[in-house]
Structure 1
Amino acid sequence: MKNKVQLDWQIISLIFLIIVFFFVYSFLAIYQLPKNINDNLIFNSPDETANYYFAYTFAKQSELQFKDSANQIADDLAAPRSMRVINNNTVPATFIGFPLIAGTLAKIFTLKVIPFVLIIFACLAIFFFYLLIKEIFNKQIAFISALLLLIAPAWWYYATKSLMPNVLFVALLIISMYLFIKAIKSAKIPFYLLFGFFIGLALMVRTSEITWLLPLFIILLVIYRKKINWANLALSFIVCLLSFAPVFYFNFQNYQSIFSFGYAVDLELQGKDIITQSLNIFEKIFLPFGFQPRTALINFYNYTLKMFPVWSIISLLGFLIAGFFILLKKDKKRILYLALFLLISGYLVIYYGSWSFHDNPDPQAITIGNSYVRYWLPVYVFILPLIGYSLFKFLKKSKLAVTFVTAVLFIVLGYFSFQQVYFGQDEGIYLVYNNLKSYEQIQSQVSAKIEDNAIIVADIMDKVFFPRRSVIFRLNKDYDYQRVYQLIAAGYPVYYFYFTRHDALLAEFNERYFFQHQLEVQPSIVDFKEQSLYPIRILNSEF
């Protein structure tokens, strides 16, 4: 009875903290709630903008595409980042799972639920993480691990930026893994079916992760082959395909192939164009961005010890201590966890670490908003039980000591996470919050000055003006300037939103880029602290 009461208090405490952190994670979503009545929310990244807009579009129209009339003249020029124009339809340039899931829930409930979908799943995943780790380790380690996940900086940050899909993927994976273990242990068909459903949803959200998820489950199937009900597993595979099937349908509708996705790979790796690299079939599937172990290790150092020093040191100690005792005790279940963690982490470090990301305008900046952090989220998450194991190993003889040290660790690490998440360099949540307020003022003032059918060449500010106005990201080629000319001639007002330039610089800008195309950037009509809005006109024309 005593243990039962203790367990109940652990669960009650965990549920209470999950509810509290639902509101903590909802900081940005709650801030935008009064404006969350149409498709005009502003976000801090193009991926968030695209995910919200297509979730909204799917909820309203059951489609993941739309037409911009300007592209009848501009071909594929009028589109923000994270979107592409194919056959005159603007479609996502990201995986479509998030818009499908969020859009479906918005159909059932309300459009206002879209920014909260990921937060709800993030909170559910905390509890399922507790259940999962309890199956592999024990209740105390599971409780410690779940508490650490609540405050893990990468999880906290990307749960708060709730239109980025990575936390949703990991949340669905955690739920899937728990259901898989329960299916094997119980042989009950509901667990098999639910496993198939949730792993299908996880793959919808991050289809590229199949490169390690498939080998992971093959290994588990081989190890547990005698305990698996293969008929039920076949049914779970069918359910997985059915839950993933909408991706095939909309891929075909948007990209004319069920196996095509919105991502256009045009990044550079160590100065080389990836597309032109000669890769064999294995590399194309499992290492599409090359094999650069030195670069990967440098990047991994930057986004562990350099970015999260306290968390990284504790994680390293936890890994070493847990690894030593797990191997010493020869516990097969925990050895399997340790081995799979090492294999998957090593693969993810090489897979993404070999890729050069430049999310920040400063390519040297190491920030929590960089892609490495969200792509390595599984590494940050699944090392936490090893910290919990190490802590419990040393303190298990005293329940009071375990409780006290866990509470202190939760408070101390929570403080460091709070500082990193809210006040981190360049991309902390507090800075994002201030950016959003500034963007709203810019959007409002610009919209009041320009025509409804105006098009803005906006560079990285495309996320601010879309969808209230059509946008062009950049003018990169001569043909782009020609299309701007054609748009203006057809009656579309075109504006350039760029850094503020005095008369001499504006004249030089025109001379270098625009006059040769019979275009002119005229003096600004709206000025802000560092940026201005400039009309573009055809030379010697009334347009």
Structure 2
Amino acid sequence: MMKIKIKNHINIALVVVLAAVFFVATSSFNYFTQTADYTKWSSPDETANYFFAKRFSQGESLAYFDAAAIIGDNMVMPRSVRSDAGWLKPVSFLGIILMYGELGSIFGSAVIPFLTPFFAALGIIIFYALIKKIFSERIALISAFLLATFPVYIYYTVRSMFHNVLFIVLVVFAVYFIVLAAGNRKKKLEESPEAVKISVYKKFLTFKLDLKIWWQMLAAFISGIFFGLALITRSSEILWLAPAAFVVWLFYAKRLGIIKLILVLCGMFLAILPNAYFNQALYSAPIYGGYNEMNRSLDDLSKTGSQMINSFFSGDNKYGAYLETIYRNIFYFGFNKDQSISMARHYILEMFPVLLGAFLLGCLIILVLNIRKFQKKYLAYFLAFAIISAILIFYYGSWKFNDNPDPNRFTIGNSYTRYWLPIYLMMMPIAALAITRFSQAIMFSGDHPKRRWKRIIIAGIQSSAVLIISAASILFVLYGSEEGLAYLYYNNLAEKNNAQRVFSLTENNSVIITRYYDKFFFPDRRVIMGTIPDAEMLTAVSKLVNYYPVYYYNFYLKEEDVNYLNERKLSPYQLKMSLVKKMNRNFGLYKLEKAVVEVPAANKK
């Protein structure tokens, strides 16, 4: 017994050290690429999330008014920000902004870039604890190492203002606490004489619960809080989270009971309430968000739901049309089966073949071991996995993401990897089980070999497998593509130098027109997304130049090209463009000003 306790303590100590190393390693990227006066990000989503989280941490409102947005026909704003009559608001889900902003108000806004690494490190520990509850100590330990070195988990922890890692960590916390709330299968409430003591000498319905039941109820409430926080972090994920949770609940409804379910819902309501308040304040409805398309879909779904209920009671047979409306709103960007399968092949099979291979081997092993009677926990796990995988693959796989400028490249920075993080995560324990069972099979041993030398060899095989997989994963996330962290690090330093040069050449109140560099210029400078010539944009610029310095940052143009634009494209708007400076080999900074219209001498009086 003492040896088992020492072993458990060693394992949890290993996981804590692993999490600490993970935190230091992932935090170092932002620590070395950012400074107090220069905190920039590699995507517009991250830029907007950080900007509004920092505002919130400093006690400022999430929406702010910019007169330039009104003058510029609501075009003066970066990506991932919307302008409502001059009021700039976040487009993103508010969860990460509110949580990080609140923590920033307590510990200082300087901690915001390091919060995702912190929560991701905690996620490794809680993932270990969860898998230990569901599977075993050894599988949990291997799973923790697989997660801590998994390329997607590392990559989007480093890019710390994306929602995805925070979301998945909150879900893992929620699932862990719901497992605690379910309690031990062998100790049911109605079978334990100490669980409920009803005294006939006291008031009617007076009862006493033992401490374990109270802890389970508290765990259910805490689980609901984490589920709620996960939903406000990425509300769209309810599309797969709800059906998967419902299926698992069907398996364990008796152990959870109605009271614990109510406590989960109460916790969710408590966590969602602040988000609903800010949604109402910013977007005029508690369920609305920054995405107008999503808001329209919610309206259509709500209207269709009411119509279906009315149709049921009235006897109208219009369910086909209603289902078509629901389908169209859920698959807003279309449903493309072939593309979904193709993306799954690129981002699961081809990108992570070892994980997939180990997962499939683990599935085969579980099938063989449960050939006579499938254990309920495995059945619930695989049904949830099938539901989650199918929805995520066909929902996000039907979209077309081109985060990498080269659409023919399938790299870690493309959004499919972060959207499919739940799939990767659920594959890890089964892959760990395969490593465990395979190493035991090599030594013709069971779960607990009696001979010490066999245990040492089995542990060596498992450690070697984990070490090889981890080393390959770390090399992949650093150098596996042009979006690897090593290249991203040097690119960020180069862009920092470039942005600071642009700032030195432009006024603080200036507006810069750019195609992709809004993420580096905002909020130090106002930005307009676009390229010249664009009629709508030039109309806005012709007004802005009367009040603000306006610049254009894009590919460097030859003198004859600038003259052509001035004579043919800009003159109708009474604008002219002149080179300020060639910034590097490819890009130049230009200033847009009001053109002086020459009045012919014959017309002068």
TM-score for the superposition, normalised by structure 1: 0.92
- Residue aligning to 2:267: 239
Q: From the superposition, tell whether residues 131 and 329 of structure 1 become closer, same or farther in structure 2 (CA, over 3 Å).
A: farther
- Residue aligning to 1:354: 398
- Displacement after TM superposition at 1:445 (Å): 1.1
Q: Distance in 2 between matches of 1:326 and 1:370?
A: 38
Structure 1 residue runs of 5 or longer lacking an equivalent are 267-277
- Residue aligning to 1:221: 249
Q: Deviations over 1:357-393 (max 9, x none)?
A: 1112222221101000000000011100101111222
- Residue aligning to 1:206: 234
Q: Deviations over 1:455-501 (max 9, x none)?
A: 00021011111111101111585232111100002x21110000111
- Displacement after TM superposition at 1:323 (Å): 4.4
- Residue aligning to 2:337: 293
Is the Cα contact below 8 Å between 2:511 and 2:526 reproduced in 1? yes
How do residues 123-272 of structure 1 correspond to structure 2 at under 5 angstroms? 123-185=121-183, 187=213, 188-265=216-293
- Bigger drift between 382-391 and 411-420 goes to 411-420
Q: Deviations over 1:154-211 (max 9, x none)?
A: 1111111111110100000001001011111164221011111111110111100011
Q: From the superposition, tell whether residues 539 and 383 of structure 1 become closer, same or farther in structure 2 (CA, over 3 Å).
A: same
Is the Cα contact below 8 Å between 2:145 and 2:466 reproduced in 1? yes
Q: 1:531 aligns with which of 565, 584, 587?
A: 587
- Residue aligning to 2:427: 383
Q: 2:61 aligns with which of 44, 60, 63?
A: 63
Q: Deviations over 1:384-424 (max 9, x none)?
A: 01011112223144432342123212221122212221113
SS of the residue corresponding to residue 89 of structure 2 reads: strand
Is the Cα contact below 8 Å between 2:240 and 2:387 reproduced in 1? no
- Residue aligning to 2:375: 331
Q: 2:411 aligns with which of 363, 367, 374?
A: 367
- Residue aligning to 1:19: 20
Is the Cα contact below 8 Å between 1:42 and 1:439 reproduced in 2? no
Structure 2 residue runs of 5 or longer lacking an equivalent are 184-211, 295-321, 441-446, 599-605
SS of the residue corresponding to residue 228 of structure 1 reads: helix
Residue type matched to 1:144 in 2?
I
- Residue aligning to 2:204: none
Q: 1:101 aligns with which of 99, 102, 111?
A: 99
**1:87 aligns to 2:144 (yes or no):** no
Is the Cα contact below 8 Å between 2:247 and 2:383 reproduced in 1? no
- Residue aligning to 1:2: 3
Aligned-CA RMSD value = 2.1
Q: From the superposition, tell whether residues 539 and 125 of structure 1 become closer, same or farther in structure 2 (CA, over 3 Å).
A: same
SS of the residue corresponding to residue 524 of structure 1 reads: strand
Is the Cα contact below 8 Å between 1:292 and 1:354 reproduced in 2? yes
Q: Distance in 1 between matches of 2:496 and 2:232?
A: 32
Q: Deviations over 1:404-460 (max 9, x none)?
A: 123212221122212221113221111211121112111211111111211000210
- Residue aligning to 1:500: 556
Q: Deviations over 1:100-157 (max 9, x none)?
A: 1110101111111101111111111111111111121111111111111111111111
- Residue aligning to 2:472: 416
Q: Deviations over 1:481-523 (max 9, x none)?
A: 111100002x211100001111122233445643333322212
Residue type matched to 2:549 in 1?
P
Q: From the superposition, tell whether residues 107 and 364 of structure 1 become closer, same or farther in structure 2 (CA, over 3 Å).
A: same
- Residue aligning to 1:110: 108
Q: From the superposition, tell whether residues 470 and 327 of structure 1 become closer, same or farther in structure 2 (CA, over 3 Å).
A: farther
- Residue aligning to 1:270: none
Q: From the superposition, tell whether residues 68 and 384 of structure 1 become closer, same or farther in structure 2 (CA, over 3 Å).
A: same
Q: Distance in 2 between matches of 1:261 and 1:536?
A: 35
- Residue aligning to 2:72: 74
Is the Cα contact below 8 Å between 1:128 and 1:178 reproduced in 2? yes
Is the Cα contact below 8 Å between 1:326 and 1:335 reproduced in 2? no
Q: From the superposition, tell whether residues 265 and 364 of structure 1 become closer, same or farther in structure 2 (CA, over 3 Å).
A: farther
Q: Deviations over 1:38-76 (max 9, x none)?
A: 6x4111111111111111011012522222231131131
- Residue aligning to 2:362: 318
Q: Distance in 2 between matches of 1:312 and 1:219?
A: 24
TM-score for the superposition, normalised by structure 2: 0.83
Residue type matched to 1:7 in 2?
N
Q: Distance in 1 between matches of 2:597 and 2:490?
A: 41
Q: Distance in 1 between matches of 2:276 and 2:110?
A: 27
- Displacement after TM superposition at 1:286 (Å): 4.0
Aligned pairs, number: 527
